[in-house]
Amino acid sequence: MISEKMVGLVKGSSVIRAMFEEGKRLAKEYGAENVYDFSLGNPNVAPPQAVEDAIVDIVKSEDPLRLHGYMSNAGYEDVRDTIASSLNERFGTKFSEKNIIMTVGAASGLNVTFKTLLNPGDEVITFAPYFGEYKNYVINYDGVLVEISPNTVDFQPKLDEFEAKITKKTKCVIVNSPNNPTGVVYSEETIRALSGILEKKQKEFKTSIYLVSDEPYRELVYGDVKVPYITKYYRNTIVGYSYSKSLSLPGERIGYLVIPSEIDDYDDVFAAASVATRILGYVNAPSLMQRVVAKCINETTDISYYERNRNTLYEGLTKLGFTCQKPEGAFYLFMKTPTEDDKAFVAAAKKYNILIVPGSSFGCPGYVRIAYCVAYETIVNSLPKFAELAREYF
């Protein structure tokens, strides 16, 4: 008999993953070229050549015992130092290896953070629409996820509701910008206002409220859009970064946490997070990948590929009469459904072999998420199918 907690988690298991499996089934039945699978955020751009070169070079040139062995739970000191220096150069911060913990992607960074900080019943606030797994990550440590309802005008956080929902039990607040599922980047003005509210509430309740910035899409922005580096605005910030999207390495499971020295109880938090990586069973981030990302510190994915997809899809869908939020970053497009029932719309789309995810999976019914990290041809060929779908409604 599995645990009662897992019974609930299995029941609510990800709609996105179920879609992905459905996509594989449809591809077998109709041929992959006739299925328009926009369900999963799996990058369609190969990692930069520098990644392959680094893997080969590192495997050939390094002492295998050192390369494949255990190291400090927090990761190799020199890798952490390289990452800290790069952040300092880019954002004018003052980090050192003492502020970096290598993780097994963003997912493990968030789990390590919540393992480190949460007592049962502690509240974690996030802004809808949000990455559905947050709920599970918080439940893992018996925390309570508190949702702020979506602001469907521009998808910046609703700050009045946020302020009203902060309580003595609020331990963490998660922000995710560029955002999955909207592609929206939270503006500097938003970050300043949000930080001001947190400062005020910490004083009022005499508590520490940690702002957790989940940043797997930081490098994926279009044009001259800037993503504010949040540690510079709010002292109690912890950043979770991942190379899953920026270097197209989601299967390799590599990322890091930034735990600034200025946060409340820094020594305890850093020490506890290092223990958390071990006792959660990750032990340490993959050793070869740590070396690879350090060697590829100035590399990122080909953003022009996603930009072309974004432009073609956004223009195509708006021309058909759909209302879409124009993404400024990440590789998701959030589209209003022409019926209130987003799940019914998703089912209707499936008739045309279009696989998309209902907004209700992200706490925002009445919308769908279209992951456009797919082949350009998939976007072009899907548009006539979207046109047929549109004819059912307009």
Report the interface residues with ligand PLP, using CB under 6 A. Answer: 41, 105-107, 131, 176, 180, 214, 216, 242, 244, 250, 255
Give me the residue label for tokens 């080909």. Answer: 302
Q: Which is nearer to ligand PLP, 255 or 316 (CB)?
A: 255
How would you classify residue 47: left for phi > 0, otherwise alpha for psi between -120 and 50, otherwise beta?
beta
Question: Least distance to ligand PLP from the beta carbon of 134, Å?
Answer: 8
352 and 392 Cβ atoms separated by less than 8 Å: no
Q: Which is nearer to ligand PLP, 109 or 260 (CB)?
A: 109
Question: Least distance to ligand PLP from the beta carbon of 174, Å?
Answer: 9
Q: Give the dihedral sign, CA 95/99/104/108.
A: negative
Q: How far apart are CA 112 and CA 82, in angstroms?
A: 22
The residue count for the chain? 394
Question: Least distance to ligand PLP from the beta carbon of 28, Å?
Answer: 25
Q: Which is nearer to ligand PLP, 240 or 260 (CB)?
A: 240
241 and 255 Cβ atoms separated by less than 8 Å: yes
Instruction: Using DSSP, state whether 185 is helix, strand or coil.
Output: coil
Q: Which is nearer to ligand PLP, 110 or 117 (CB)?
A: 110
Question: Least distance to ligand PLP from the beta carbon of 332, Å?
Answer: 8
Q: Which is nearer to ligand PLP, 113 or 242 (CB)?
A: 242
Question: Least distance to ligand PLP from the beta carbon of 181, Å?
Answer: 8
Q: Which is nearer to ligand PLP, 175 or 389 (CB)?
A: 175
Question: Least distance to ligand PLP from the beta carbon of 384, Å?
Answer: 29
For β-strands 332-336 and 367-371, DSSP reports them as: antiparallel
Q: Which residue is nearest to ligand PLP (CB)?
A: 105
Question: Least distance to ligand PLP from the beta carbon of 180, Å?
Answer: 4
Question: Least distance to ligand PLP from the beta carbon of 159, Å?
Answer: 20
Q: How far apart are CA 362 and CA 221, in angstroms?
A: 21
Q: Give me the DSSP letters along 29-86.
A: HH-GGG-EE-------SPPPHHHHHHHHHHHHHS-HHHHTS---TT--HHHHHHHHHH
Q: Which is nearer to ligand PLP, 180 or 195 (CB)?
A: 180
* Alpha-helical segments (H) within the chain: 4-11, 15-30, 49-61, 64-67, 77-91, 105-117, 133-139, 159-165, 188-205, 266-279, 287-295, 303-319, 342-350, 376-391
Q: Which is nearer to ligand PLP, 242 or 378 (CB)?
A: 242
